[in-house]
Every structure is written in C-alpha cells, then in structure tokens.
Amino acid sequence: MYHCRQAAEKALKGFLVWHDQPFPKTHDLGKLGKQAIVLDHTLEPLVEAVV
C-alpha cells in the first residue's frame, strides 16, 4: 500500500509541476488532489478514489 500512495503522490506533484503550480511540502493526497482538480476537473473521480 505504501508504494501505491507514493506513486499517487508523485503523480499529483508531477502534474502540479507540469502546470507551474507551487504546492506545499506535504504527503496529504487530499490537499494535492484538490489543488490538481482546480486545474483539471476530470481528475476528480480519481482523487476521490484515492482519498
């Protein structure tokens, strides 16, 4: 489970970096996911499934 969460975290952070968005130093998938959803609403079902 740990590696799955790590992969999701890295994917969200990579997405935010790609869009030049700063993000807090956190491992909270909910916070990162909410920030990503603002940029792309199609991510909402994925973020809800992870959190």
Alpha carbon distance 13, 32 (integer Å): 7
What pLDDT, on a 0 to 100 scale, did the predictor assign at position 1?
A: 85
pTM for this prediction: 0.85
Tokens of 23: 């993000």
Sequence spans of domains, the chain? 2-50
Tokens of 38: 């603002």
H helices of the chain, where?
A: 2-18, 29-39, 44-50
Cβ atoms 15, 33 nearer than 8 A: no
Q: Model confidence over 1-51: pLDDT tens digits?
A: 889 889 999 999 999 999 999 999 999 999 999 999 999 999 999 888 877
